[in-house]
Chain A
Amino acid sequence: MATKASRSAARLMMAPAVILLLGWMLVPLIMTLWFSFRKYLPLRGGDLGWTGFDNYVRFVSSSAFWPSVQTTLIIVGGVLLITVCFGVLLALLLDQPMWGQGVVRILVIAPFFVMPTVSALVWKNMFMDPTNGLFAHLFKFFGATPISWMSEASLPSIILIVSWQWLPFATLILLTAIQSLDSEQLEAAEMDGAPVLKRFWFIILPHLSRAMTVVILIQTIFLLSIFAEIFVTTGGAFGTRTLSYLIFQRVLESQNVGLGSAGGVYAIILANIVAIFLMRIVGKNLDA
Chain B
Amino acid sequence: MSLRNALRAATAVSTITASGALAETITIATVNNGDMIRMQGYTDDFTAKTGHEVEWVTLEENVLRQRVTTDITTKGGQFDIMTIGMYETPIWGANGWLVPLDGLSAEYDADDILPAMRNGLSHDGTLYAAPFYGESSMIMYRTDLMEKAGMTMPDAPTWEFIREAAAAMTDRDNDINGICLRGKAGWGEGGAFITVTANSFGARWFDEDWTAQFDQPEWKEALTFFVDMMAESGPAGYATNGFNENLSLFQQGKCGMWIDATVAASFVTNPNDSTVADKVGFALAPNKDGVEKRANWLWAWALGIPAGTQKEDAAKQFIEWATSKDYIELVAAKEGWANVPPGARTSLYATAEYQEVPFAKMTLDSINAADPTNPTVKPVPYVGIQFVAIPEFAGIATEVSQEFSAVYAGQQSVDEALEKAQAITTEAMEAAGY
Residues of A participating in the B interface, judged by any CB pair closer than 8 Å: 39, 41-46, 58, 62-64, 129-132, 145-148, 150-152, 231, 234-239, 241, 249-250, 252-256, 259
Contacts and interface: CB of A to CB of B under 8 A. Distances in A.
B411 A235 contact: no
A152 B91 contact: no
A236 B402 contact: yes
Contacts of B91: 43
A64 B395 CA distance: 13
Contacts of B424: 63-64
Given A148-B236, A235-B186, A256-B395, A63 B428 contact: no
A261 B420 CA distance: 24
A148 B432 CA distance: 36
18 contacts: A62-B427, A63-B420, A130-B236, A130-B237, A148-B239, A148-B409, A150-B240, A151-B405, A152-B409, A235-B62, A235-B398, A238-B239, A238-B411, A254-B396, A254-B428, A255-B391, A255-B395, A256-B431
Given A41-B432, A238-B405, A252-B69, A130 B394 contact: no
Chain A interface secondary structure, helix, strand, loop or mixed? loop
A115 B401 CA distance: 29
Contacts of A147: 237
A44 B402 contact: no
Interface of B is mostly: helix
A239 B239 CA distance: 13
Given A237-B405, A238-B411, A253-B394, A145 B236 contact: yes
Given A130-B237, A148-B236, A238 B406 contact: yes
Given A147-B237, A249-B395, A253-B398, A259 B186 contact: no
Nearest to B427: A62
A114 to B, nearest CB: 18
B398 A249 contact: yes
Nearest to A249: B395
A64 B239 CA distance: 20
B168 interface: no
Interface in B311-355: none
Contacts of A146: 236-237
B392 interface: yes
A255 B392 contact: yes
A102 B405 CA distance: 46
Given A43-B73, A249-B395, A255-B392, A151 B431 contact: no
Nearest to A233: B240
Contacts of B391: 41, 43-44, 255
Contact of A238 (B392, B396, B398, B409): B409
Contact of B395 (A145, A150, A234, A250): A250
Contacts of A259: 431
B66 interface: yes
B227 interface: no
User: Which of A58, A235, A250, A256 has most B Cβ within 10 Å?
Assistant: A235
B12 interface: no
Contact of A255 (B69, B252, B402): B69
B6 to A, nearest CB: 33
Contact of B73 (A234, A254, A255): A255
Interface in B387-434: 391-392, 394-396, 398-399, 401-402, 405-406, 408-409, 411, 420, 423-424, 427-428, 431-433
Contacts of A237: 184-185, 401-402, 405-406
Contact of B394 (A129, A131, A254): A254
A74 to B, nearest CB: 16
Interface in B230-265: 235-237, 239-240, 245, 248-249, 252, 254
